[in-house]
């Protein structure tokens, strides 16, 4: 049976096919908006970021290289960059960062209907939850909230060097675990 | 430009992978990566891991009308220039105006996530996004040159007699089976999901209840209980075949496992 891969759909999106565009946006809007919402906070700004991310993804579609990752990952990187641009434009955050997030990771049960991606997301989410809390908080704050290591250090009341160490340890541990799973 | 060593790159590799290094410092590292395969591989592998973290990030349902506004904006940016002024054109069968909010109104569900669950609360208040619930997506078919598997009447045949077939897809577009509607008033819907038993066993509740939801063009829905241990079902309808808009398999929480949409007749 035939199905439309993310890559094939993205090719239609990049080519300006309105039908492919509608399905492409539908397929990724929850992830794009979810990340934008996490980073921006305010719904209005999150929507602006998410819209801009889709437009930027079309504009710079030629820069997508499937050898370097999936369409979804690339689109989320674009979203993250757009969100960071917005944060910089408004002078970072309007309010100080409070407690660091410990639980910003998707609940695998919430992606039950995306059966084909369930396993991967659940595996990564499980590994993230298995990290020491301080490491997980630092990594999630930087990747999913767009905080700088300085902001994380202020929120966690620890030296910036400690934050960097936690992030490095967390990412390397994840990398090792995911690599071990793949073997 | 300052030369950096492999040890320094290894130390900074996670920062590089996460995009935390900027300016001259970044340029120095990139210069090293161009010449050093092992360091390049290390940073590349960590970047893939950073992507995995992004992919495991929160999901949230965008506001009503979001998809239409994105398409308008793409159209204004010239995305559809060659394909025609189609930014606001509805793809046949994709139904991008049937946004999740509309779907919820039809099904009467409440709450932000599938199965009507309330969003998960974030731990740290307004700074941290509460619940990133995945959305019950009314899956549209990929039409046009991409993936038309469905169409009322197929090759111009009379749908009442020849039947119309729609691909059944998950929220991500994965093809899991097909639905056919045939016969005159009343029509009969047949759904065939070859891997259904395995899907339920793996992701669902084998002892749970599942329904075949048949949606008509007027927005009304009927629910028909289906046994989870079979992979094909036939449901008689009190409607004409031409009035059937979509068929979904839903669980007890209202979550759509897969959906097939029949494009409206031209």
* Structure tokens given for B43: 């940073």
Interface of B with A in 116-135 (CB under 8 A): 117, 120, 122-129, 132-135
Enumerate the residues of chain A whose CB falls inside 8 A of the CB of residue B124: 98-102
Enumerate the residues of chain B whose CB falls inside 8 A of the CB of residue A172: 14, 46
Distance from CA of B148 to the nearest CA of A (A): 10
Distance from CA of B188 to the nearest CA of A (A): 24
pLDDT at B253: 65
pLDDT at B1: 64
Q: Which residue of A has its CA nearest to B45?
A: A175
Residue of B55, B90, B103, B195 to mutate, interface with A, max A Cβ within 10 Å: B55
pLDDT at B184: 66
For residues A155 and B139, give the distance between their C-alpha atoms in angstroms, rounded to a whole number.
41
Q: Within an 8 Å CB–CB cutoff, is residue B41 touching chain A? A: no
Cβ atoms within 10 Å, residue B115: 18
pLDDT at B140: 22
Distance from CA of A67 to the nearest CA of B (A): 11
Enumerate the residues of chain B whose CB falls inside 8 A of the CB of residue A120: 52, 55
- CB-based contact B235:B144 (threshold 8 Å): no
pLDDT at A180: 61
For residues A18 and A34, give the distance between their C-alpha atoms in angstroms, rounded to a whole number.
23
Locate all alpha helices (DSSP H) within chain A, ordered by sequence: 6-14, 18-40, 43-59, 71-89, 115-130, 133-143, 149-156, 160-182
| Regions of chain A with pLDDT less than 50 | 1-2, 94-97, 100, 102, 110-116, 183
* DSSP, residue by residue, chain B: -----HHHHHHHHHHHHTT---HHHHHHHHHHHHH-HHHHHHHHHHHHHHHHHHHTS---PPPTTHHHHHHHHHHHTTTTTTT-S-TTPPPTTT-TTS-HHHHHHHHT--SSSGGGPPPPPPTTGGGS----------PPP-TTTT----BTTTTT--HHHH-EEEEEE-TT--EEEEEEEESSSSPEEEEE-TTHHHHHHHHS-TTS-EEEEEEETTS-EEEEEE-TT-SEEEEE-SS-GGGEEEEEEEETT--EEEEEE-PPP-
Burial environment of residue B13 by CB neighbours within 10 A (0 to 12, 13 to 18, 19 or more): buried
The size of the A-B interface in CB pairs under 8 A is: 296
CA distances from B78 to A67, A108, B84 (A): 28, 37, 10
* Structure tokens given for A171: 């990412």
Question: CB B172 to CB A120 under 8 A?
Answer: no
pLDDT at A93: 57
Cβ atoms within 10 Å, residue B141: 31
* Structure tokens given for B176: 């899991």
Which residue among B58, B86, B146 places its CB closest to the CB of A8?
B146
| Regions of chain B with pLDDT less than 50 | 83-161
Q: Within an 8 Å CB–CB cutoff, is residue B27 touching chain A? A: no
- CB-based contact B242:B152 (threshold 8 Å): yes
pLDDT at A3: 55
pLDDT at A166: 93
Enumerate the residues of chain A whose CB falls inside 8 A of the CB of residue B8: none
What are the phi and psi torsion angles at B221 (to 5°)?
A: -130, 145
Give pLDDT tens digits for B133-190: 222 122 221 222 212 222 233 323 333 445 788 888 877 667 778 888 887 667 888 8
- CB-based contact A76:A31 (threshold 8 Å): yes
CA-CA-CA-CA torsion sign (B77, B94, B150, B243):
negative
């Amino acid at each position: 049976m035939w199905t439309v891969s993310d890559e094939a759909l993205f090719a239609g999106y990049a080519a300006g096919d309105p039908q492919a565009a509608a399905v492409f946006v539908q397929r990724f809007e929850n992830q794009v908006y979810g990340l934008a919402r996490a980073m921006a906070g305010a719904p209005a700004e999150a929507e602006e970021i998410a819209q801009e991310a889709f437009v930027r993804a079309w504009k710079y579609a030629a820069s997508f290289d499937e050898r370097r990752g999936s369409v979804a990952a690339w689109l989320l990187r674009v979203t993250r960059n757009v969100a960071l641009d917005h944060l910089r434009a408004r002078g970072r955050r309007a309010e100080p960062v409070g407690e660091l997030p410990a639980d910003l990771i998707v609940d695998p049960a919430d992606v039950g209907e995306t059966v084909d991606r369930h396993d991967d997301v659940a595996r990564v989410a499980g590994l993230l939850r298995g990290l020491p809390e301080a490491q997980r908080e630092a990594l999630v704050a930087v990747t999913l909230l767009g905080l700088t290591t300085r902001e994380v250090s202020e929120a966690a009341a620890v030296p910036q060097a400690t934050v960097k160490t936690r992030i490095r340890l967390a990412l390397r541990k994840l990398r090792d675990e995911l690599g071990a799973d793949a073997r | 430009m300052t030369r950096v060593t492999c040890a320094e790159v290894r130390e900074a590799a996670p920062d590089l992978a996460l995009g935390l290094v900027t300016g001259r410092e970044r340029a120095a590292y990139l210069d090293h990566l161009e010449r050093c395969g092992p360091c390049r591989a290390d940073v590349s592998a960590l970047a893939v891991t950073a992507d995995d973290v992004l992919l495991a990030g929160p999901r949230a349902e965008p506001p009503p009308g979001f998809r239409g506004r994105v398409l308008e904006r793409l159209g204004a940016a010239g995305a559809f220039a060659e394909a025609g002024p189609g930014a606001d054109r509805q793809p046949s069968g994709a139904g991008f105006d049937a946004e999740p909010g509309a779907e919820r109104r039809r099904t009467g569900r409440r709450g932000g996530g599938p199965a009507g669950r309330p969003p998960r609360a974030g731990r740290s208040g307004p700074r941290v996004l509460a619940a990133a619930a995945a959305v019950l997506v009314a899956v549209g078919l990929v039409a046009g040159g991409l993936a038309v598997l469905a169409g009322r009447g197929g090759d111009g045949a009379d749908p009442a007699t020849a039947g119309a077939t729609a691909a059944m897809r998950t929220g991500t577009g994965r093809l899991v089976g097909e639905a056919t509607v045939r016969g005159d008033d009343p029509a009969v819907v047949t759904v065939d999901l070859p891997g259904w038993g395995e899907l339920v066993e793996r992701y669902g509740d084998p002892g749970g209840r599942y329904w075949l939801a048949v949606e008509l063009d007027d927005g009304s829905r009927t629910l028909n209980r289906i046994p989870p241990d079979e992979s094909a079902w036939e449901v008689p309808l009190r409607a004409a075949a031409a009035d059937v808009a979509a068929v979904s398999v839903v669980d007890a929480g209202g979550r759509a496992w897969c959906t097939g949409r029949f494009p409206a007749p031209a």
